A and B are shown apart, each in its own frame.
Chain A
Amino acid sequence: MWNGPLEKIDEYRYMIPKTYKGIKGNLKMKVPAVIYANEKMIEAIKKDNAPEQAANVATLPGIVGKSLAMPDIHWGYGFPIGGVAATDANEGVISPGGVGFDINCGVRLVRTNLKMDDINGQIIKNLVDELFKNVPSGVGSKARIRLSMQQINEVLDMGAKWAIENGYGWDEDLEYLEENGHLESADSSLVSDKAKKRGKEQVGSLGAGNHFLEIQRVAEVFDEEAAKVYGIEKDQIVVMIHTGSRGCGHQICTDYLRVLEQATLKYNIQLPDRQLACAPVNSKEGESYLKAMASAANFAWTNRQLIVHWVRQSFENVLHENAHDLGMHIVYDVCHNIAKIEEHVVDGKKMKLVVHRKGATRAFGPSRKEMPLKYRKIGQPVLIPGDMGTASFLLKGTDASEETFGSTCHGAGRVMSRSEAKRRWNGREIAKMLERKGIYAHPASWTVMAEESPDAYKDVGNVVEVTHGAGISTKVAKMVPLGVVKG
């Protein structure tokens, strides 16, 4: 139980004041920390040490504004998961702990022209089984395409553009991905051979754990105007993909934690926790990490792009209709583990910042230009994946999100350990329970079904209510699963 000071700002915001000295009494916070939560949630948040971590982050050199924590905050390595921190790009630091191991873990939403009336249980089952066949999933899922080292370098440097140029997708797809699926700053020469080899084995695969591929039904529309612009309506069938940069990104993080650990000593940076290891953004180590991280982000966008290609093919195979005719356009693609160089206004001054989002999603409002032309009147689509038994959400970014450097929550967060879930439930029973709710699941293993049981997660609906209430992103639609492919 965390017992530090918390000042209630309003119904949705709690502040840890700058004067807080930390559990050990020697913390020097440079800025306050703000946690987005309601009264009920804040009690649950205090159960682990995540608020202390939000306070620790506030000590980073060059941090500006506030150290922020989203309502789905929970304990993470160094930075809390659900944490947002912006540092001055000229005088601040960059920290791999503020990004996480699964660099550019993210979510993509694909729409269709299909409505509930066009499908039935058997069609869903056929689609899920076909998806399971075409999209590698599960522990150590292997790539179905064999890339050379030269091609892996191209993937790392080019991102989703590589996939489109090689026939995996439509030209229009790139416009609907955050950063157009490509970070320019990437440099594959700063990525180890190990990371490339792990990437080579796993490119175009879902992986395991909380990653999923779901066929969903739009159950509710809250914001008709925004939904219309995004091409979403009630009872429509959509597909959601949740995965990241696989072993490639994990290896890049592992490699650079070692580098940054030494850099922390070299630049004499005092930290309350070893896992906040960081380096000045302008240092050789900091720049190298940013470029390698951008390469991992590019890998993840390619990964999701290959999966979209096979999703479209699977629908074509089962429904005997062309994916274009089925209207399978990408609504959007967001990353929720990343650090990006962005411009924001701090104390009335425009600044170049490194915005760390670890388990947090960019949620830009209409005043920002970094989104497809079509969406600029409404704001950027924000995709919040739930877990397999419950709902996922489509939100829109708002200009009010400037207070969080254009960021919002990312999902539900576990409330129970995987082993505890396995002890409590049997995977087949969970599949039956889902079936009764009209959800067909095809897991790579029954163990994952138990581990990923809906009851092992916080209710994503509560998380979204807080971001909606606080105004940093607002509800557009709620989707519920019909068919699930689990890693």
Chain B
Amino acid sequence: MFKIIEHTADIGIEAYGSTIEEAFENAGKGMFFIMTNGGKIESKVVKQIELPFDMDEEQLLVDWLSELLYIHDVDHLVFGEFDVKINKKLIAKAYGEEYNIKKHGYGMEIKAVTYHMLEVKRNKKGYVIRVLFDI
């Protein structure tokens, strides 16, 4: 689950999960929701992603979403499902298909993932993530 949050010149998401992995998966879904305007994304291709966990959880989140943004720009893909494992590094599978404006709709061009109000927080129910994008 995720929620869109916004401010005058910015947009971001709050994503939830019972585990940090699930929260990361939902953050990915939220980002592509903003980019596509919510059109259904089918799982036709899968991308393997591996990232070092060498700083903190917040930095890992920025790295994770930045990586998805990079793949989107270079391979013209959008993703709707994720399978994330976090241990000493982040290992993930991202499922999606080629971006098609007619099918997926048009949301916003996200330039980058920012550190503003960035948060990966643990609460009673699990994890809450907050992240804002530069658009």
Interface residue ranges, A against B (CB under 8 Å): 48, 74-75, 77, 81, 100-102, 138-140, 142, 194, 197-198, 201-202, 207-209, 247, 250-251, 253-254, 257-258, 261-262, 274-275, 413-420, 444-445, 447-448, 451, 487
Tell me whether B43 is interfacial, beta carbon within 8 Å.
Answer: no
Interface residues of B in 1-56 (CB under 8 A from A): 4, 6-11, 35, 37, 55
- Asked whether B116 lies within 8 Å of A250 as measured between CB atoms, the reply is no
5 CB < 8 A contacts A-B: A77-B114, A139-B106, A197-B74, A254-B62, A447-B106
A445 to B109, CA, bound (A): 12
Query: Apart from A75-B8, A258-B63, what are 11 other A-B pairs with CB-CB below 8 Å?
Result: A74-B8, A77-B134, A102-B134, A139-B108, A140-B72, A250-B134, A261-B55, A414-B9, A417-B8, A417-B10, A418-B6
Across-interface contacts of A198 in B (CB, < 8 A) = 70, 73-74
Tell me whether B120 is interfacial, beta carbon within 8 Å.
Answer: no
Across the interface, B37 reaches (CB within 8 A) one of A101, A197, A258, A447, namely: A447
Across the interface, B8 reaches (CB within 8 A) one of A201, A209, A415, namely: A415
- Asked whether B111 lies within 8 Å of A101 as measured between CB atoms, the reply is yes
- Asked whether A247 lies within 8 Å of B73 as measured between CB atoms, the reply is yes
Q: How many A-B residue pairs have CB under 8 A?
A: 102
Known: A140-B99, A202-B73, A447-B37. A419 touches B6 (CB 8 A): yes
Across-interface contacts of B66 in A (CB, < 8 A) = 254
A444 to B107, CA, bound (A): 12
Across-interface contacts of A413 in B (CB, < 8 A) = 9
Interface residue ranges, B against A (CB under 8 Å): 4, 6-11, 35, 37, 55, 59, 62-63, 66, 70, 72-74, 76, 99, 101, 106-109, 111-116, 134-135
- Asked whether A419 lies within 8 Å of B37 as measured between CB atoms, the reply is no
CB distance from A287 to the nearest CB of B (A): 22
CB distance from A134 to the nearest CB of B (A): 19
- Asked whether B115 lies within 8 Å of A77 as measured between CB atoms, the reply is yes
Across-interface contacts of A253 in B (CB, < 8 A) = 112
- Asked whether A251 lies within 8 Å of B70 as measured between CB atoms, the reply is yes
A47's nearest neighbour on chain B, judged by CB, is B8
CB distance from A76 to the nearest CB of B (A): 8
- Asked whether B116 lies within 8 Å of A77 as measured between CB atoms, the reply is yes
Across-interface contacts of B35 in A (CB, < 8 A) = 139
Across-interface contacts of B8 in A (CB, < 8 A) = 48, 74-75, 414-417
- Asked whether A140 lies within 8 Å of B113 as measured between CB atoms, the reply is no
- Asked whether B72 lies within 8 Å of A417 as measured between CB atoms, the reply is no
Across-interface contacts of B99 in A (CB, < 8 A) = 140
Known: A77-B115, A198-B74, A445-B101. A140 touches B11 (CB 8 A): no
A135 to B13, CA, bound (A): 32
- Asked whether A417 lies within 8 Å of B9 as measured between CB atoms, the reply is yes
Ordered nearest first, which 6 A-B pairs have the shortest CB separation? A208-B109, A445-B106, A101-B112, A247-B73, A250-B111, A414-B9
